[in-house]
């Protein structure tokens, strides 16, 4: 159990960097820019920002308050307030386990691509970039070596604990990430022909806003802010009692959004400057961009910097995916941190092996029209996260009580929160759970918008 020996973050900035590290991940750097492009440029940006405020910050505050109040991670936090709700915490733990198993595979890809980029891609023809990617991920052994390195790094940091592991390394990695993304954005924006990319990225097309845009934005806010699976709740449980929850819970989503926005400024001007098509998802980062770096002067340096950026973003998110699983084993099953990190990290790697192989020799193994990799992505992202996110909001608002949660978030009323009553009476009680439920039902096809 928690008790007096429970670790805490050493400083406010340490918590902010760790939580921002969790939020800022692969979702920001390749998924967000792509969604902006598809769903109407700046129009999507406006919708996204509104949802960050209405749901993102609202749920973020509730997770941190619940964690800090109970000083327990996911399962323990629910149990401490109402034992019958413990299974909701468990949904988050399972989601984290699943996400990390494929996230770790992609983390491995970033390491491989970092080395490839530094060496210079040297593609002989335009199709070579696709061949490199498909050839690499479908190989049975090579991606696993990189996934193993990525997971071992994640395990090491989590094994070192909160202050000597997560906080210490986040304090180094996050500033590095900020510096790299700013350098890359400047490089990209100053390329001849960058304007077309900017136009594509930022020219609002309001006619493109419809139900689907809203859903895409909602789902992205949730995933990007690491909500619904206990990462933020668990980090909140290591936050000190006198810390200002409304402040840290506003600054982290702002940083997350800023990095997502900057990622678009890195990607689109460069893609357009070299006459490539803005692809999608994994293809944009691992197929289109290598082809761009192949053309760019000093492309090996900028390419290396980009994949290092992607690696840092993935690593700080992956430690926040492992920590709740580890904290759960420690708190609920009395395991030592060492045993919990190595065993659970190792098990996640084993599931990761199956994910990786499903891009190659196991690609014929299909469930619900998906290979193992996509299946885990779908179940965790589209099913488990929204369900547990919605139930967490309901739990905080109706079981723990939004007034109690507000007391915790404002340090018993000593912190001024202008919209505190709106938060407690409307946003967390009705708006958040209802909107999350709508997203969930439409993403699994129960309703159509
Ligand atoms: N927020 C991370 C990203 O954008 C992913 C993540 C989800 C991390 C849930 C932790 C928990 O990539």
Report the pLDDT value the prediction gives residue 3, as an integer from 0 to 100: 46
Q: Ligand 1: which residue has its CA nearest to atom 6?
A: 226
CA 63 to the chain's CA centroid: 15
Q: Ligand 1: which residue has its CA nearest to atom 9?
A: 226
8 Å CB contact between 198 and 366? no
- The predicted-structure confidence for 58-101, as pLDDT tens digits, reads as follows 999 999 999 999 999 999 999 999 999 999 999 999 999 999 99
Mean predicted confidence (pLDDT) in 177-204: 94
Tokens linked to 268:
């689109």
Distance 231 CA to ligand 1 centre (A): 9
Tell me which of 21, 25, 224 to substitute to probe ligand 1's pocket, judged by most ligand atoms within 8 Å of the beta carbon.
Answer: 25
**Contact 420 CB / ligand 1 (< 6 Å):** no
Q: pTM of the entire structure?
A: 0.94
The band of 163, judged by pLDDT with boundaries at 50, 70 and 90, is very high
Distance 193 CA to ligand 1 centre (A): 33
- The predicted-structure confidence for 352-404, as pLDDT tens digits, reads as follows 999 999 999 999 999 988 999 999 988 888 889 889 999 999 999 999 999 99
**Contact 27 CB / ligand 1 (< 6 Å):** yes
**Contact 341 CB / ligand 1 (< 6 Å):** no
In this structure, is the dihedral angle defined by the CA atoms of residues 206, 207, 211 and 216, taken in order, positive or negative? negative
8 Å CB contact between 427 and 397? no
* Of 184, 136, 161, residue with least CA distance to 33: 184
Query: Could you give the CA distance from residue 333 to residue 348 in angstroms, rounded to a whole number?
Result: 18
Report the pLDDT value the prediction gives residue 11, as an integer from 0 to 100: 95
**Contact 159 CB / ligand 1 (< 6 Å):** no
Query: Could you give the CA distance from residue 445 to residue 402 in angstroms, rounded to a whole number?
Result: 31
Report the pLDDT value the prediction gives residue 30, as an integer from 0 to 100: 79
**Contact 107 CB / ligand 1 (< 6 Å):** no
**Contact 310 CB / ligand 1 (< 6 Å):** no
**Contact 234 CB / ligand 1 (< 6 Å):** no
8 Å CB contact between 14 and 252? no
Distance 146 CA to ligand 1 centre (A): 20
Tell me which of 158, 320, 327 to substitute to probe ligand 1's pocket, judged by most ligand atoms within 8 Å of the beta carbon.
Answer: 320
């Amino acid at each position: 159990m928690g008790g007096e020996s429970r670790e805490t973050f050493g400083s406010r900035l340490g918590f902010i960097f760790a939580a921002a590290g969790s939020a800022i991940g692969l979702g920001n750097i390749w998924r967000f820019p792509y969604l902006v492009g598809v769903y109407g440029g700046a129009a999507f940006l406006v919708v996204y920002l509104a949802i960050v405020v209405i749901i993102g910050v609202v749920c973020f505050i509730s997770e941190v308050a619940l964690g800090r109040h109970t000083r327990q991670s996911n399962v323990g936090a629910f149990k401490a307030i109402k034992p019958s709700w413990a299974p909701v915490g468990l949904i988050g733990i399972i989601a984290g386990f699943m996400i990390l198993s494929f996230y770790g595979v992609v983390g491995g890809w970033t390491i491989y691509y970092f080395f490839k980029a530094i060496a210079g891609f040297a593609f002989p023809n335009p199709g070579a970039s696709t061949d490199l990617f498909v050839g690499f991920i479908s190989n049975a052994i090579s991606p696993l070596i990189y996934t193993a390195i990525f997971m071992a790094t994640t395990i090491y940091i989590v094994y070192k604990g909160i202050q000597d592991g997560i906080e210490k390394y986040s304090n180094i990695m996050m500033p590095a990430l900020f510096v790299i993304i700013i350098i890359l954005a400047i490089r990209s924006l100053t390329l001849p022909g960058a304007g077309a990319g900017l136009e594509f990225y930022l020219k609002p097309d309001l006619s493109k806003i419809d139900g689907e845009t809203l859903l895409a934005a909602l789902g992205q806010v949730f995933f990007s802010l690491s909500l619904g699976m206990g990462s933020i709740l668990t980090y909140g449980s290591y936050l000190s009692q006198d810390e200002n929850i409304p402040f840290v819970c506003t600054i982290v989503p702002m940083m997350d959004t800023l990095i997502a926005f900057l990622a678009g400024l890195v990607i689109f001007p460069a893609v357009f400057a070299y006459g490539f098509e803005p692809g999608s998802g994994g293809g944009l980062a691992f197929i289109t961009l290598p082809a761009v770096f192949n053309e760019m002067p000093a492309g090996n340096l900028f390419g290396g910097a980009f994949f290092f950026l992607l690696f840092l973003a993935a690593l700080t998110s992956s430690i926040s995916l492992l920590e709740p699983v580890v904290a759960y084993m420690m708190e609920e099953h009395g395991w030592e941190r060492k045993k919990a990190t190595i065993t659970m990290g190792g098990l996640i790697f084993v599931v990761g092996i199956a994910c990786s192989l499903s891009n190659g020799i196991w690609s014929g193994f299909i469930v619900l029209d998906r290979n193992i990799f996509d299946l885990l992505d779908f179940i965790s992202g589209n099913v488990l996260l929204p369900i547990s996110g919605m139930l967490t909001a309901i739990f905080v608002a109706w079981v723990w009580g939004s007034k109690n949660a507000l007391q915790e978030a404002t340090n018993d009323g000593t912190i001024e929160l202008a919209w505190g009553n709106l938060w407690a009476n409307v946003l967390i009680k009705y708006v958040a759970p209802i909107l999350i439920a709508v997203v969930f039902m439409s993403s699994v096809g129960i309703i159509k918008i």
